[in-house]
Structure formats: C-alpha cells, structure tokens
C-alpha cells in the first residue's frame, strides 16, 4: 500500500498535497499497490470526492481529544500528527508514505522518521520504485538536483512544491472507504503545539495564495516607498512581498519575504519592482506563471527570467500602472 498525508489547516486543504498524491499515484501504478490517504481532524465530502478521483481506496481520518478539546478545528502539533501516521505504518505497513514538501509536511515526516527509524528523502520530484527507491530531489532551493537511493521497509518522501503537475483524469475513480481512528498520544507528542494565532494582515490575501504578487526590493528605497506597491496590489486583489534586503532593513516584516529563506509564491503574475533577481530570491518565485520585472538595469538577473519587463524607475512606472488601471475601470 502507498499512503499519502493530506495536509489540512483548520479544515483547509493544502493544495500541494495533491502534488504528493499525484506522485503517490505513479508509485502505486509502478508497484501495483493500493493507494491510501491519511488526514488529521475531519474530511469534508468534497475532499473525499477529490481523493476518489485519484483512485484512493481508503482515507484514514485521525483525531484526538487532546488536539481538538473545545474546538471543532484540530490544532497543529507536529509530533502528534506524526504519531497518527506512525500508527498506520505499524498497522498497515505501507511501502511508502508521501507528503507535500511544505513546512509542515517536511516537519511532520521528519518526526515520523525519528519515531520509526525509517529513511526519509525531502523535496523529491521523481521516484523509481524497486527494492530500493531511486529518488530525484531538489537541493539548495531547487538550484541542484540530486539522485538518492532510499532503502527501508517503508520509505518516507516529501514532494517539492510546484514541481509536479497534478493529474487526475487518467485514473480510475474509486469510492473511498473511510477509517476513522483515535490516535494514542503521549505528553511528549504535545510538547510543541499551537496555543494561539496572530493574524498579520487581517482580511488581506496571503502571499502563498495570492493570484498576483507585487514584490519590492532594495530599489524601492524605503518602507514608505512600499505605499505605491500596496496600492497596485490592492487594485489587483493581490499581496505585497519583498526581497531579503527589504526584510533585513526592516522595511517589511520577515513574513513578507519571498525566497529560499522566505515564502514560496505561485501567483498567476509576479510583478517584481527593484529586485535584482538573486538565485535565493528566484527560488521563492519560480512557481509564478508570469513575471513582470520593473528595473532600471536592463542587465539585472531578473530580466533573464521575466516574461515582461519595463526598464525604468519603479517610482514612476508603478504609479503609472495603477493610474492606468483606475482609468480603465472608470
């Protein structure tokens, strides 16, 4: 059996889980094994239906009093979530467990590996089944690909986000059976857990989910300089992000950073303003479908990655785009 962890945060599914499920589906086909999924908390009908389209046979739904006490939504605790997966590993001995290579996916699977002493490979993009699995995985934020051999009764893999197109239509849809169970947790499993949440930008779309991202770099010049980027993002219903230089200088909070040590974005359009396009920045922006670069330097690295470019001063170009948009909208 091949098992995929379906990541949910307060009942909202992380779409990257379906990339993991696509790779899991390929593995199940290579090895003629049934495909199962596991999630923590609850599973909406819509989720169960989507899993059926991938040919998932059984969905294991883990819950625990300790994590949901008083709430309908289950709060996050990495070792506790891992324990739910460990219970299925012990009971059903899957050949592999896959999860999204998100912050949480990687964290939970690292706990699973530590609890079971099983081998784990993070950020895989390809896998060839066999006694040992041959996996291709991304290193250094995607600037290097590495082949690795993974041996073990159960192999643990996470899938690099935005690296595998989600495929469903070639699979035979299944009616998904559900197996609800209560995870047995120890005190140790609850040592790290969410106790409160602080929303940073209430009502605004998050960087990870925005369809348009307006990003600023050193060229913006100051914290105040971001006002024109905010204005453009508001007009487009998008979010504002920045390079490490601007978070380092305190012009934007670290939560807004795009890149290897910040957020990975995947908008339809990334408007990059006064950003040079260092590799560590581009790693976070490579999920963008289109890039519009605004930069005074025609030779800036970002120009070689951009679909569209405006060579010019962002302080003139950005307000001009906003003005044109307002004019066209009447």
**Which residues make up the interface to ligand FAD (CB under 6 A)?**
217-219, 243-246, 257-262, 274-276, 278, 280-281, 284, 294-297, 300, 313-315
**Sign of CA pseudo-dihedral 23, 154, 103, 52:** positive
State the nearest-atom distance from the C-beta of 7 to ligand FAD, in Å.
22
Please, which residue, 41 or 215, has the CB nearer to ligand FAD? 215
Handedness of CA 20, 22, 26, 32 (dihedral sign): positive
The CA distance from 203 to 18, in Å, is 26
Nearest-approach distance from CB 215 to ligand FAD, in angstroms:
8
Identify which of residues 116 and 260 has a Cβ nearer to ligand FAD in the complex. 260
Nearer to ligand FAD, 98 or 160 (CB): 160
Nearer to ligand FAD, 34 or 221 (CB): 221
Other C-beta atoms within 10 Å of 136: how many? 17
In this structure, are residues 225 and 315 in contact, taking their beta carbons and an 8 Å threshold? Answer: yes
User: How deeply is 102 buried, as exposed, middle or buried, from its count of CB atoms within 10 A (0-12, 13-18, 19+)?
Assistant: buried
CB-nearer residue toward ligand FAD: 67 or 314: 314
CB of 326 to ligand FAD, least distance (A): 21
Q: Supply the minimum distance, in Å, between the C-beta of residue 216 and ligand FAD.
A: 7
- CB of residue 139 to ligand FAD, shortest distance in Å: 13
- Closest residue to ligand FAD, Cβ-based? 259
Task: Count other Cβ atoms within 10 Å, centred on residue 201.
Answer: 13
Of the two residues 8 and 260, which places its CB atom closer to ligand FAD in the complex? 260
For residue 89, the SS3 value is: helix
Question: For ligand FAD, which is the closer residue by CB, 177 or 312?
Answer: 312
Residue 38 neighbours by CB distance under 10 Å: 26
| Residue 99 vs 258, nearer CB to ligand FAD | 258
3 state SS of 12: strand
Q: Could you list the beta-strand ranges (E) of the chain.
A: 2-6, 8-9, 12-13, 35-40, 58-63, 96-100, 120-128, 133-139, 144-150, 155-159, 177-182, 212-216, 239-242, 269-273, 290-295, 308-311
We find the least distance from the C-beta atom of residue 306 to ligand FAD, in angstroms, to be 12
Least separation, in Å, of the C-beta of 312 and ligand FAD?
Answer: 7
CB closer to ligand FAD, 23 vs 273 = 273
Could you tell me how far CA 289 lies from the centroid of its own chain?
16
Tokens linked to 37: 């999924």
CB of 280 to ligand FAD, least distance (A): 3
Is beta strand 133-139 parallel, antiparallel or unpaired with respect to 144-150?
antiparallel
Q: How would you write 221-254 as a 3-class SS string?
A: CCCHHHHHHHHHHHHHCCEEEECHHHHHCCCCCH
State the nearest-atom distance from the C-beta of 3 to ligand FAD, in Å.
32
């Amino acid at each position: 059996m091949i098992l995929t962890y379906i990541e949910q945060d307060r009942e909202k599914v992380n779409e990257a889980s379906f990339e993991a499920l696509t790779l899991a589906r390929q593995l199940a086909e290579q090895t003629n094994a049934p495909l199962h999924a596991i999630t923590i908390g609850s599973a909406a009908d819509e989720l169960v239906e989507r899993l059926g389209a991938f040919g998932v046979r059984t969905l294991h739904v883990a819950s625990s009093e300790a994590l949901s006490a008083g709430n309908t939504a289950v709060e996050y605790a990495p070792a506790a979530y891992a324990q739910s997966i460990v219970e299925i590993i012990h009971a059903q001995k899957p050949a592999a467990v896959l999860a999204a290579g998100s912050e949480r996916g990687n964290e939970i699977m690292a706990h699973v590996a530590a609890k079971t002493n099983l081998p784990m490979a993070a950020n895989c993009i390809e896998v060839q089944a066999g006694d040992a699995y041959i996996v291709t995985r991304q290193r250094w934020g995607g600037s290097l690909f590495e082949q690795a051999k993974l041996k073990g009764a159960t192999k643990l893999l996470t899938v690099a986000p935005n690296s595998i197109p989600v495929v469903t239509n070639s699979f035979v849809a299944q009616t998904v059976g559900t197996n609800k169970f209560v995870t047995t947790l120890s005190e140790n499993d609850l040592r790290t857990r969410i106790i409160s949440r602080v929303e940073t930008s209430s009502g605004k779309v998050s960087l990870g989910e925005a369809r348009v991202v307006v990003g600023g770099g050193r060229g913006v010049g100051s914290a105040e300089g971001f006002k024109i980027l905010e204005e453009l993002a508001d007009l487009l219903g998008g979010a504002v992000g920045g390079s490490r230089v601007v978070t380092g200088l305190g012009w934007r909070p670290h939560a807004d950073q795009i890149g290897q040590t910040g957020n990975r974005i995947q908008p339809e359009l990334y408007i990059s303003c006064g950003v040079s396009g260092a590799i560590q920045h581009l790693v976070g922006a490579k999920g963008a479908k289109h890039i519009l670069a605004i930069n005074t330097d025609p030779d800036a690295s970002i120009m070689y990655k951009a679909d569209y470019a405006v060579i010019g001063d962002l302080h003139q170009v950005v307000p001009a785009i906003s003005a044109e948009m307002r004019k066209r909208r009447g």
